Amino acid sequence: MKTKTLRQDKVNVITLGCSKNLVDSEVLITQLQANDYEVHHDSNEKANIIIINTCGFIDVAKEESIDTILQYANAKKRGEIEKLYVTGCLSQRYKDNLEEEIPEVDAYFGTMELPGLLARLEADYKHELIGERTLTTPQHFAYLKIAEGCSRTCAFCAIPLMRGKHVSKPMEDLIKEAKFLASIGVKELMLISQELTYYGLDLYKKRALPELLKALCKIEGIEWIRLHYSYPNKFPKEVLTVMAEEPKVCNYLDLPLQHAADGVLHRMKRQTTCQEQRELIEYARKVVPHLAVRTTFIVGFPGESEEEFQQLCDFVKEMEFDRVGVFQYSHEEDTSGFLLDDDVPADVKAERANKIMEIQQAISYEHNQQKIGSILKVLFDRKEGEYFIGRTEYDSFEVDNEVLVNAKENFVRIGDFAMVEITDAEEYDLYGKVINV
Ligand code: SF4
């Protein structure tokens, strides 16, 4: 029997940015391991080959990516590492500039150049591994990327420049991938893409997300299916019917709205109005009981007047979202927004972002107080200090609320579900006791 001889090289893959980038890193790691590389992820493990999977979304993300590249370029100059490769969105968008400014990097690759990167490492691209992945997340949940790219034209967004037009993954491949993930112990699938509700329009000439959800619900072992990055315009309402009927589909809707003043929505090219957004959320809450709605807003878009910002504040107060994230507008070249004057001062942007989060903090506190005494199903992600920490179906990983149970009085296994009685609540955290595992 041929013994597997690991190559002497050790690779460390550094992932920056979003969950879609994380999936790309997982695919890369899987391919490298299949070529007998020892691979680590975001580790302090000493490695002689570093691969940085970058983010190029907005200024702060770009800065983080460039700082990380410089950090390892200096390590290479000091002889601490041998090879440095850069891939991902920043590399896709600024390859020529980066090659000029940071020549210590051995090679830069775009977002669709995995085979090229592997070839550079004398590794073969193993087609038979499509649909299989080494997870970098805790083993009980995984991201399922159902499409690549985006065909929308939001004025502030550079993603289509880095990821191209929307390309749906064939449903049979996604089901095969989900079955593989279930076979390695995944219980929660987080469906992601740039624009989830567009799924199928290119491949099947129809919005096929409802059909995909029903098929994924049939997979044994998968207990929760969560939807991320939906889009309000032409939202396929049948998704909500499936969510209401299928217990495996979390009553959770991540629906970035970006703004609520019609003038700003129009300048952002969001193809929707405040009233349409309001009606969609009211309809969703009617069809799906106890639905948790997560959204994100951008403040400081060119021309955002005090009055328009006030309209956004009023909307956040009125709609009482369960989860809210806020970004400060970043003036991204080559987007249509770049043609507008970035006239909202940085301190005003920061002030407005804080204002929205202040409003939301009070809403979140009220909502959480109402959960005291309720019994919720919780999936436990980790133990930290004296607490086991998990999430309800209303909370996604890293971005939403958490449930904390005291480890001295309760015992749960990481990756297990347990019923928890909520005994106390803060703005963003719930406390409770396990009533049965
Ligand atoms: S939907 Fe809009 S914001 Fe989202 S990735 Fe596409 S263009 Fe960007």
User: Is the pLDDT confidence value at 4 over 70?
Assistant: no
| Average pLDDT score over residue span 238-248 | 98
Q: Based on the number of CB atoms within 10 Å of its own CB, is 323 exposed (0-12), middle (13-18) or buried (19 or more)?
A: buried
Q: Which atom of ligand 1 is least distant from the CA of 150?
A: 6
The residue whose CB lies within 8 Å of the most ligand 1 atoms, and thus the one to mutate among 21, 57, 150, is 150
Which of the listed residues 145, 159, 335 should we mutate to test ligand 1's pocket, taking the one with most ligand atoms within 8 A of CB? Answer: 159
- Give the 3-state secondary structure percentages of the chain, helix then strand then coil, rounded to 5: 35, 25, 40
Say what the pLDDT of residue 42 is: 83
Across the range 75-100, mean pLDDT stands at 97
The reported pTM is 0.95
Q: Is the CB of 154 under 6 A from ligand 1?
A: yes
- Which of 152, 230, 231 is the pocket-test mutation for ligand 1 (most atoms within 8 Å of CB)? 152
Residue 159 CB less than 6 A away from ligand 1: yes
Decide whether any atom of ligand 1 lies within 6 Å of the 299 Cβ: no
Residue 1, pLDDT above cutoff 50? no
Per the listing, tokens 């009085």 go with 409
Residue located via tokens 């570093």 = 50
* CB-based contact 196:228 (threshold 8 Å): yes
Ligand 1 lined by 223 (C-beta under 6 Å): no
Distance 148 CA to ligand 1 centre (A): 12
User: What are the pLDDT digits (tens) for 374-403?
Assistant: 999 999 999 999 999 999 999 999 999 999
Q: How far is the CA of 60 from the centre of ligand 1 (A)?
A: 18
Q: What radius of gyration do the chain's Cα atoms show?
A: 22
